[in-house]
Structure 1
Amino acid sequence: MTLTAPANPALNVTARRAVYPFTAIVGQEEMKLALMLNVIDPKIGGVMIMGDRGTGKSTTIRALADLLPEIDVVADDPFNCHPTDPDLMSDELRQRITKGENVPVVKRKVQMIDLPLGATEDRVCGTIDIEKALSEGVKAFEPGLLAKANRGILYVDEVNLLDDHLVDVLLDSAASGWNTVEREGISIRHPARFVLVGSGNPEEGELRPQLLDRFGMHAEIRTVKDPTLRVKIVEERSAFDSDPQGYLEKCQVEQDAVQKSLIDAQNLLKSVQIDYDLRVQISQVCAELDVDGLRGDLVTNRAAKAIAAFEGRTNVTVDDIRRVVTLCLRHRLRKDPLESIDSGSKVEKVFCRVFGLPEPEQKMPAVAGKR
């Protein structure tokens, strides 16, 4: 998902459906940070959000999708293909461009696709009309949800209740950036690059460790206990419900500022460097935590670069790593499916020891912002 600045930076708030603004969400900094970093670098691999009921998981994800600017897409393409980037084109579109065809381009809001729990594999991946393919000799393909989610956000609520096979399909597509459908010797593939966001309530069960490891980051959210903060959340929501358009206009300056930061961060990301010594220390943390495989190392490096880019810097600092390391590693420590996921204290202790830092008395919130 490549973001581009809108032609008019002031979004027309009166011409679109009112969605609660991202910048008005109180608290839940860990979840917001993880989501923004995945927008900056979708190769981080998505976010698994686990938390209590009614803590704003769905609201936050919809708010992020609404915050993102419009993207350029090919007008008549079912996969939201990019008109100029070959890596984000389907094979058919590449052939059309190679032949010199003129492809119409339109701007479209970033899609957020909800995947229902009862969805079948055909609904998710798409289907091939075998009869039409055999009788007419054409590849008749009916796109699924992965096609609609290309260059957008795919949200799976209660992902821990989804069939393991479907979770595997989603994670494979998110990792490779392509969805391949094969039926009776006929094969069709299309780009499927999306930010995968799963959410769930830990009371209803956890994902298997093998599937959890495939998610780039794991955010934990809890019900706010502070009465003053709870009152503020209720007041803000009530103000939005009573006058959605007026509330959006009040938040528009902050919304535009965050949107610009995300666009700038994507453009800056390729220039961000992380010192060799820091990379070695990240790997040492992963090794001491006995993290299987190298996904933990890769994701932590990517996330640290993304947070540096978000704050307008081209060099990763120890503080950048500290703010993302728990998000990237806590869900990779569980070896037994019956174990609960570590809250992050174990990761922080090892991190502080490897990097030679004093251990914090209490957990530090992961907050990102312009400095």
Structure 2
Amino acid sequence: MFQSFNFYRRKKYLKYFLLKNKFMVVEDTQQERPIFPFTAIVGQEEMKLALLLNVIDPKIGGVMIMGDRGTGKSTTVRALVDLLPEIQVVADDPFNSDPKDPELMSEEVREKLKNNQKIEIISKKIEMIDLPLGATEDRVCGTIDIEKALSEGIKAFEPGLLAKANRGILYVDEVNLLDDHLVDVLLDAAASGWNTVEREGISISHPSRFILVGSGNPEEGELRPQLLDRFGMHAQIGTVKEPELRVQIVEQRTAFDEAPFSFRKNYEDSQNQLMATLVKARKHLSNVEIDYNYRIKISQICSELDVDGLRGDLVTNRASKALACFEGRSEVTPQDIFRVIPLCLRHRLRKDPLETIDSGEKVQEIFKKIFG
């Protein structure tokens, strides 16, 4: 008679079998769940471009992806994880504090630097944090650490998802179905870049600057205007119509499902090349310039379209520079602006909540009129 005991520890697990009163140990390897390669995704160029530009310049402010169900929205977003570069963080800090930027440091790290204490710096890959629709406010914002309260009798803070997402990506699938109380939390953190928690006598603030990425199906409801405006870019995707392209997508998905690791191996070179391009673009972004006349024309377009506020101007400038840098140029061209401006402005044109979001044609018409 066999009795089996499974012990899981990280990537390896041991299977113990009791056979004739003797132990036999068998070791195997548990592979991580494979992710579909970003460079293997067919079509949906607008969505892919918006995501890549946000990786190059996180200050663009994220991207909202709206489209039909089954068009690969969540697959594409999660495929981005493989391409995310490394950043420097303070070791053993739950908030991913930046060792050089005070605005991205926790109060504890700031206090250490103020007292000339030495801090350990490590490199860490940018994280993507999923925010589930059913998450509680305590899980998102953080709460009191019950274990320390019971065992040590002290009040301590247990960081939430907003702490983990600092300097990373916060992804909300079906964001248009998110509960209002969580929308309020996201609005507060996105507006200030900080998360403040008041719980059971604890008052703590920590940096929470993240790239907000959301996806959803417009048939299931629209976003609140305040939250929609917080997304730097808005990508609209539809179901692929060309039969040949549809067949190609189905074949790739089938091949990935049957042998995910060998499928990923076929795209190793293209993945590494794209990752190197993103790292280089992040490094040289500050060297890219945009002509003053182009900036005037961008603002003129925003003015003619009656865009509220200046966020549209800022995002268009940033996205144009990120695109130029991504393609290895140090100066922005009108073509760069033409490619990104519909993504940056289309969701800022709607004055009536019942109106549909512009496809981008209206923005392009005004662009052609002003740029000539």
- Normalising TM by the smaller chain, what interval? 0.7 to 0.9
2:74 maps to which residue?
Answer: 58
2:350 to 334, 337, 347: 334
Distance 2:191 2:285 in 1: 19
Residue 190 of structure 1 deviates from its aligned partner by 1.3
Residue 325 of structure 1 deviates from its aligned partner by 0.3
The number of equivalent residue pairs is 342
Residue 65 of structure 1 deviates from its aligned partner by 1.4
Greater Cα offset, 284-293 or 236-245: 236-245
CA contact (8 A) 1:130 1:183 kept: no
CA contact (8 A) 2:55 2:84 kept: no
- 1:40-63 CA-to-partner distances (Å, cap 9, x unmatched) read 111111111100111111111111
Greater Cα offset, 164-173 or 263-272: 164-173
CA contact (8 A) 2:190 2:230 kept: no
**Structure number with higher relative contact order (C-alpha < 8 Å, ≥ 6 residues apart):** 1
CA contact (8 A) 1:45 1:175 kept: no
CA separation of 1:145 and 1:131: change in aligned 2, threshold 3 A: closer
Distance 2:209 2:34 in 1: 27
Structure 1-normalised TM-score?
0.86
- 1:109-160 CA-to-partner distances (Å, cap 9, x unmatched) read 3221111112222211112469989xx9965111111111122211111111
Q: Secondary structure at the match of 2:267?
A: helix
> Aligned letter for 2:107?
D
Q: How does 1:129-208 map to 2 (within 5 A)?
A: 140-183=156-199, 186-208=202-224
Distance 1:84 1:287 in 2: 37
2:313 maps to which residue?
Answer: 297
Q: Which has the higher strand share?
A: 2
Residue 256 of structure 1 deviates from its aligned partner by 0.9
Distance 1:139 1:293 in 2: 42
Q: Secondary structure at the match of 1:155?
A: strand
Distance 1:139 1:277 in 2: 56
Distance 1:147 1:69 in 2: 19
Q: Secondary structure at the match of 1:292?
A: coil
> Aligned letter for 1:188?
I
- Rg: which structure is higher? 2
- 1:309-345 CA-to-partner distances (Å, cap 9, x unmatched) read 1112121110010000000000011111111111111
Distance 1:203 1:229 in 2: 25
Residue 104 of structure 1 deviates from its aligned partner by 3.9
CA contact (8 A) 1:209 1:336 kept: no
Residue 68 of structure 1 deviates from its aligned partner by 1.5
1:68 maps to which residue?
Answer: 84
Greater Cα offset, 325-334 or 183-192: 183-192
- 1:47-100 CA-to-partner distances (Å, cap 9, x unmatched) read 111001111111111110122234333332112223444443211012224444
Distance 1:284 1:46 in 2: 24
- 1:271-294 CA-to-partner distances (Å, cap 9, x unmatched) read 111111111110111111111111
1:321 maps to which residue?
Answer: 337
Residue 25 of structure 1 deviates from its aligned partner by 0.5
Distance 2:139 2:369 in 1: 48
CA contact (8 A) 1:209 1:334 kept: no
1:122 maps to which residue?
Answer: 138
CA contact (8 A) 2:316 2:337 kept: yes
Q: How does 1:38-53 map to 2 (within 5 A)?
A: 38-53=54-69
Q: Secondary structure at the match of 1:53?
A: coil
Distance 1:263 1:176 in 2: 27
CA contact (8 A) 2:157 2:202 kept: no
Distance 2:123 2:31 in 1: 15
2:285 to 269, 273, 295: 269
1:226 to 214, 239, 242: 242
> Aligned letter for 1:292?
D
2:6 maps to which residue?
Answer: none
Residue 235 of structure 1 deviates from its aligned partner by 1.0
Q: How does 1:26-45 map to 2 (within 5 A)?
A: 26-45=42-61
Residue 216 of structure 1 deviates from its aligned partner by 0.6
CA separation of 1:27 and 1:286: change in aligned 2, threshold 3 A: same
Distance 2:191 2:198 in 1: 19
Distance 1:131 1:233 in 2: 48
CA separation of 1:139 and 1:96: change in aligned 2, threshold 3 A: farther
2:265 maps to which residue?
Answer: 249
Q: Secondary structure at the match of 1:309?
A: helix
1:109 and 2:125 matched: yes
Greater Cα offset, 141-150 or 160-169: 160-169
2:359 maps to which residue?
Answer: 343
* CA-atom RMSD in angstroms: 2.4
Q: Secondary structure at the match of 2:367?
A: helix
